[in-house]
Structure 1
Amino acid sequence: MTDSIDFDSLRHIGWPWPGAPEDPAWQEAFAAHPQARPGRVIEQHRSGYVVADAPDNSLKTESPPEWQRPRFPSHERAAVGDWVLLEGKRIVALLPRHTSIKRGAAGEHYHQQVIAANIDTVFIVCGLDADFNPRRIERYLLLVGGGGASPVVVLTKADQTDYSEDALAVLEDLAAQQIPLLAINGKDPESVSALLPWLGPGNTVVLVGSSGAGKSTLTNTLLGEDRMKTNEVRGNDSRGRHTTTHRALMPLPYGACLIDTPGMRELKPTGEETLSEGGFADIEELTTQCKFRNCSHHSEPGCAVQEAIERGDIDETRLESYLKLREEVALAAAKLAQRQAEQATERKHTGRGAQWRPINKGKRR
């Protein structure tokens, strides 16, 4: 079946290889469904999915019956950016993800929510107005770091402030960890061209950030047309309304694919994150140099982190953020372990139950 697939055409919607994928799990899925064709989820709605199987062809699709079950893990259903196999208008298989960005879903019970899948780069969008929040940027970096994609911090509305350089200086600890930081005017194509190194053919980029950060404005500029609705933000706190109501994947003129997402107010870890990959590699390294292995990094003698703060190498607010996020990740990891144990018991006694398994495989390519 793969011999008849136009992979060059699929590359326009982000297909990561010029020919059939080399991943054994993908090959196994193709072998199990020899009559199926690949497609990519470009829209996700409560009522279902829109899948593209060519740059100029998309269709509403039916989900597999098991996805409709209330107890089926939401992160094992398709998300925008996922590759699936289609038979007619029916999804018959979800191909394994190579990267994703996820968050812990709201509520007491442990659930994961996939924001976007099979992405190369995450543009973390933050406005240079009252939206500017280094702590929120750190949360996004934590979620991105665990999923295999590369983060880029994009500070929008540089035309509305004289403090762009000051904002970049506040984030210099991130720049020191080779995390790209860019201040741009999202309405100006020349300014936005600074993002082109991440928008080459075959690449997929997702925009994340709060409502009013300028994601839809940036999307329109990248598309070269006013396709996404934008609203003015409130003057008192720079908050915007949810102008983007669902996640959608769009091909760009540069050859890349862009996923725009609604603003997210809650950014809960899943328990799978690694702080060293989430913007805290410098602090994580310092913790290995403390005199005591169980150092809390508050007032213990020989604390390398506190010594770095005294020297001015580390900002105390970053340490507070690090400790808070470390605790949240640990709590989420405990809930994840409990959830896995419960499902293992259920499978043992019933022979059924959804499998809870990591779906990422690390960085693409």
Structure 2
Amino acid sequence: MKLNNIDMKNLGLTEEFMQESKIYKDLFIGRVSSQSKNLYKVITEKGEIVAEISGKYQYSVKGISEYPAVGDFVMIDRTNNSQGNGIIHHTLSRKSVFAREAAGTKEDIQIVATNIDTIFICMSLNDDYNLRRLERYLSIAWDSGAVPVIVLTKSDLCKEIEVRLNEISSIAIGVEVLVTTSISDDGYQSVKRYLSSGQTVAFIGSSGVGKSTLINRLLGQSVLDTSEIRNDDKGRHTTTRRELIMLPDSGVVIDTPGMRELGIISADLTKSFSDIDEFAFDCKFNDCTHQHEPNCAVQKAIKDGFLSVERLESYWKLKKETKYQGLNSKMIEKEKTNEMLSSMGGMKNFRNFRKSIKKQNRNKRK
């Protein structure tokens, strides 16, 4: 899509970003629209250009999360490529970040998109439907600083929509749910309410759920490649990289590749599991683990049918992942040992216990 004479406010440029940009003299402000290896596409007021980061910038970063990401506002040395690639010298402060654990590592994070106002968590109403995965998405989305909205796609393939909506409402407290379909002209109108000048909406979800199809509908043309879900109902990766696209007078949308795994770096469980926190307020003990303690209000809620066992187990799982994040294997094992031996007073008592066993063994050998 060719871009000329860009309205930077429609692109999401706020007064806060403009004030911060004044620190950097003789540079221009732009927004990262895509990345391919070491090259970036950046939208400036004069159009979209190709850019790379400066050597000083590259030397100063401590991890991949500090490199420019799609959605970032950056300071760049030019607004066109007539004299070569632009050079990115700085990234401005991020107002929101959707991030996940980088694939194959426990030590760094992958920035999916930044400076987002609304996150559309897309889930199709066929075999992609998964409440536990949705809880994971919501936990990360709430933590990002943006507002999550659940977008259910392919409603034409589902015969029990009301049942699904009731299930989702029981776990998505305070989150709006939109039902869409791509087979009718009005099947995507509900998402338009979130699109307006200066707003940024990111589409997040698994492969093949219809993110790109929805965006094409909003654009009124087939800008993004799409592919149908196969007969086995497993989506293929259509979007291969994150991409920011500007809508005329309606802000911008960010398309993202499907994510098979969503490793948690940080999550806001107080919002995504606010129902459990509310029940826990009535527990007898402030530090109740909701497992074996007497007068546990969470366990009572399960017995009374107000809370499912699966949701509580999902809460425990995500809580544990968040707690262990950033720890190496030895530290994780130590943490697990402390938990297992909490009834004996933790690691200190465990060491004393081990010493007593060794002493007993020595006495037996004498």
Q: Measure, in 1, the Cα distance between the counterparts of 2:214 and 2:133.
A: 20
Deviations 1:285-326 (A, max 9, x none): 322322123322123211111111122211221111111101
1:166 is the counterpart of 2:163: yes
Give 2:224's aligned residue.
228
Correspondence for 1:186 among 178, 182, 186: 182
Correspondence for 2:29 among 34, 38, 44: 38
SS of equivalent to 2:221 = coil
Correspondence for 2:211 among 209, 212, 215: 215
Asked whether the 8 Å contact 1:188–1:221 carries over to 2, the reply is: no
Q: Measure, in 1, the Cα distance between the counterparts of 2:42 and 2:212.
A: 22
Q: Measure, in 2, the Cα distance between the counterparts of 1:289 and 1:181.
A: 29
Asked whether the 8 Å contact 1:187–1:221 carries over to 2, the reply is: no
RMSD of equivalent CA atoms: 2.1
Give 1:276's aligned residue.
270
Letter in 2 for 1:218: L
Structure 2, unpaired ranges of 5+: 79-85, 332-366
Deviations 1:214-251 (A, max 9, x none): 11111111111111111121222x22111101111111
The structure whose Rg is larger is 2
TM-score by length of 1: 0.82
Identity of aligned residues (%): 38
TM-score by length of 2: 0.82
1:198 is the counterpart of 2:194: yes
Give 1:126's aligned residue.
123
**Aligned positions, number:** 318
SS of equivalent to 2:230 = coil
Deviations 1:314-339 (A, max 9, x none): 1221111111101001111556xx9x
Offset at 1:126?
0.5
1:239 is the counterpart of 2:231: no
Letter in 1 for 2:37: R
Correspondence for 2:92 among 95, 100, 104: 95
Give 1:148's aligned residue.
145
Deviations 1:240-263 (A, max 9, x none): 111101111111245120000000
Q: Which has the higher contact order (CA 8 A, sep 6+)?
A: 1
Give 1:73's aligned residue.
63
Asked whether the 8 Å contact 1:29–1:93 carries over to 2, the reply is: no
Correspondence for 2:111 among 110, 114, 117: 114
Structure 1, unpaired ranges of 5+: 1-6, 339-365
